[in-house]
Every structure is written in C-alpha cells, then in structure tokens.
Amino acid sequence: MKNLKSLALMLAFILVLGVLAACGGSEEEPAESGSDSESTEESANGSEGEGSEEVSGPIAIDGSSTVFPIMEYLTYEYSQDNPEVNATLNSSGSGGGFKKSTVGEIDLSNASRPIKEEEKAIAEENGITLEPLELAYDGLSVVVSQQNDFVENLSVEQLQQIFLASSDAQMWSDINPEWPEEQIKIFSPGHDSGTFDYFNEVILEEEPMKEGENTTLSEDDNVLVRGIENDPNAIGFFGYAYYAENEDVLKVLGIKDGEDAEAIKPNGETIQDGSYTPLSRPVFTYVNVNSYKEKPQVRDFVEFTLNNAGKAAEQVGYVALPDEKYQEQLETAKSWAE
C-alpha cells in the first residue's frame, strides 16, 4: 500500500510539473513572438522611411567668395544627414561662377551681385535657365588694420581718392594732411569678384581702380585679411562676414555717403535697414533650373538651403532675411519642378 501511495504521489507531482511547464511556455511564447513581430515591423518601416527620403549623387557649387561662408556652413550641415550626397564647393568669384553656370558646368552659382545681361544671354544660348535665390544681406566692409590709429571714418569722395586710378593721391597725407605721410597699400577682391563689381559700381562709378605694386588683388578674401592686418597703412574691402571673423585684428570704418552725412558702420541693424549706404546689398545663389528638375539631390539641397539660410547667415556673420522671404522663395522654387 505504501508503495502504491508513493507511486501515486510521484505521478501527481510529475503531472503538476508538466502543467506548470506548459503554462509557462504558453505565456512566454506569445510575448516573444509579439516582440519579434514588432521589432521586424519597426525595422521594415524604418528602412522604408529612410529609403524613401535618402538622396545621393553629386552637387557642384562655385562662385562668390562672399557667399562662400554661408554655403560652407550649409553644405557641412546638409552632409551630416545626407552622406550619400557629394556637394563640392569652390570659390572662383561671382564672375567665375557665372562662367561655369551659364554653360551648365555647375548646379548652383553663388553671387554677390545680380547676373549681368550678357551672362544671362550666354545661358539662354545654351538652353540654361538660372534663377536667383536671396540668401542674406551683406554690408561690404571697408577695413584697416587694428594697428592703424588715425582713420576711423571715410566719405565716399575720400574712397574715390584712395581707389580711383585717375586720383593723384598716393599717401595718407594726400587724403587728410593730419594723417601720416605714408604710402597707401590697397587690398581688393579680383575682377571676377561680385564684391569688386559692386564696389566699382557704387563707389568708383565704373571707373578703373588703381593697380600696380601698391595694390594686391585676390579672389581669396583670407589673403586680403592677412595683408591688411599686418600693415597699418593698408586698406581694403570685402564682405562683412570676413570682418566679423577677424575683428580682433581689423578695424571697420564708418562710411559717409556725402561729406555732411553721418558716418555709419556696418552691423546687423544698419545692414538690414539699409542705413549703411551705399554698401548694403543682398547676396545670392543662382540655381540651374534643369538641375533642380532632373536631380533629386539638387532639389533637396535647395529646399534645405532655404529652410536654413537664415541660421547660416547669422552663424557666419551676415544678416538673415525675414522668415517670410525664405518661405516665399521656397514656394517659388518648388514650382520649378512642376
């Protein structure tokens, strides 16, 4: 009897263990199965979402050295989220950019001046449409070295005396008898630069600028910065961002638009409201519309640019446009693909 009872108890114990094991398995399996299902579904959805938004391929950008800092910031930020897009950025001056964009060599042409009629005609002959997008406001800045302790402000007329080839002024004392009898050294953007064109138009009135041993021309604004910072008798001009980046070694001059006018220095407020006259101006990038239509990466980058240009402008020392101006341009750009 005792053996039979022991056997019965043992069988009952085995039966209970079997039931518990079965119950445990039934609870764990659905959870594990459900987890795998959700994980697979999330992975699939994530993969589809990323795949549908990914773009790839090259984007060629060239042009203005003035616009370069804004575009450098934008291309870097864009590449962080779009590593499959290879955006190459060069700086050959506004004129150099238009030489390439009007024959279809690049997708975006940065410019610190509007396109000229003759450049537009070349583009039309090649079946290319170039459309401008305003990126920011710039105040073309006239600067001297921080070592210069005698010049604070200049009038437009004095700028003409310094820079015009027809002027006999060679020494600072020729501009103001109280200033040193020292040779003026000129540092200027090159002739392919939109900044040179703008200065030539609004200050020199399309007359030739002085050239020779005391004038340095360069499409690289950093070359101009280095030349001016080390010479107390040097003077030059370039976009506001290059002054803002080097204000510890450069001094920006107030400009008087007329002998009796107030001298105004460039800053965010005076550039945006236009009181820094006549040297406030917008800066652009010109988009090859065919590239925008045919290359998804160009279209994506242009839209990214308009959504982030204001932030980029402020980061590198220019002045952002009103937000609504960027949005208006974004809607216009989207219409190019229709």
The pLDDT profile of the chain, 338 residues, written as one tens digit per residue, is 434 334 344 434 444 344 334 444 433 343 343 333 333 333 333 333 333 368 999 999 999 999 999 999 999 999 999 999 999 999 999 999 999 999 999 999 999 999 999 999 999 999 999 999 999 999 999 999 999 999 999 999 999 999 999 999 999 999 999 999 999 999 999 998 999 999 999 999 999 999 999 999 999 999 999 999 999 999 999 999 999 999 999 999 999 998 789 999 999 899 988 899 999 999 999 999 999 999 999 999 999 999 999 999 999 989 999 999 999 999 999 999 88
Show which of 278, 293, 324 is a domain's final residue.
Answer: 278
Q: What is the pLDDT of residue 172?
A: 98
* Same domain? 248 vs 132: no
pLDDT of residue 2: 39
- Amino acid identity, position 245: E
Same domain, 106 and 219: no
Q: In the chain, count H helices and then E strands.
A: 13, 12
Among residues 232, 261, 278, the one where a domain terminates is: 278
* 3 state DSSP class of 317: coil
- 166-220 pLDDT per residue, tens: 999 999 999 999 999 999 999 999 998 999 999 999 999 999 999 999 999 999 9
Q: What is the pLDDT of residue 53?
A: 64
For 120, residues 6+ apart whose C-beta sits below 8 A from its C-beta are 102, 130
- Residue type, position 169, single letter: A
Residue 16 lies in a domain: no
Beta bridge partners of residue 185, listed in sequence order: 234
Domain range holding 153?
141-278
Angle subtended at Cα 67 by Cα 64 and Cα 68, rounded to the nearest 5 degrees: 85
Residue 164 is classified by DSSP as B
Residue 44 lies in a domain: no
Tokens linked to 222: 């950093």
CATH number at residue 212: 3.40.190.10
CB 155 within 8 A of CB 259: yes
For residue 17, tell me if it sits in a domain: no
DSSP designation for 102: T
Residue 26 lies in a domain: no
Output the pTM of the full model: 0.76
Are 259 and 221 members of one domain?
A: yes
234-238 vs 141-145, strand pairing mode: antiparallel
- Are residues 128 and 66 both part of a single domain? yes
- Are residues 98 and 198 located together in one domain of the fold? no
Q: How many CA atoms lie within 13 A of 136 on its CB side?
A: 30
Q: Which residue has the tokens 């209970």?
A: 16
Domain boundary among the residues 242, 261, 278 is at 278
Residue 214 and residue 184 in contact, taking contact as beta carbons nearer than 8 Å: yes
Strand partners, 42: none
In angstroms and rounded to an integer, the radius of gyration of the C-alpha atoms of the chain is: 32
Q: Is residue 47 part of a domain?
A: no
Q: Are residues 253 and 148 in the same domain?
A: yes
- Reading the block at residue 261, the tokens are 């006018």
What is the end-to-end Cα distance of the chain in Å, rounded? 95
Does residue 133 contact residue 305 with C-beta atoms inside 8 Å? yes
C-beta separation of 158 from 231 below 8 A? no
Both 153 and 235 in one domain: the answer is yes
For residue 182, count CB atoms less than 10 angstroms from its CB and return exposed for 0-12, middle for 13-18, buried for 19 or more. middle
Look at residue 10 in the predicted model and tell me its pLDDT: 44
- Same domain membership, residue 288 and residue 250: no
Is residue 185 helix, strand or coil? strand
Cα angle: 294, vertex 295, 296; to 5 degrees: 115
Domain assignment present for residue 71? The answer is yes
What is the number of structural domains in the chain? 2
146 and 265 together in one domain: yes
Q: Are strands 250-252 and 234-238 parallel, antiparallel or unpaired?
A: unpaired
Whether 303 and 121 have beta carbons less than 8 Å apart is answered as no
114 upstream amide cis, omega within 30 of 0: no
User: d(Cα 163, Cα 184) in Å, to the nearest integer?
Assistant: 10
| Residue 288 near residue 100, CB atoms below 8 Å | no
Residues 268 and 293 in one domain: no
Shared domain check, 274 and 158: yes
Whether 43 maps to a domain, the answer reads no
Instruction: Give the CA angle between residues 213, 235, 281 to the nearest 5°.
Output: 120
C-alpha to C-alpha distance for 297 and 294, rounded to whole angstroms = 9
User: Same domain, yes or no, for 161 and 219?
Assistant: yes
In a domain, 318, yes or no: yes
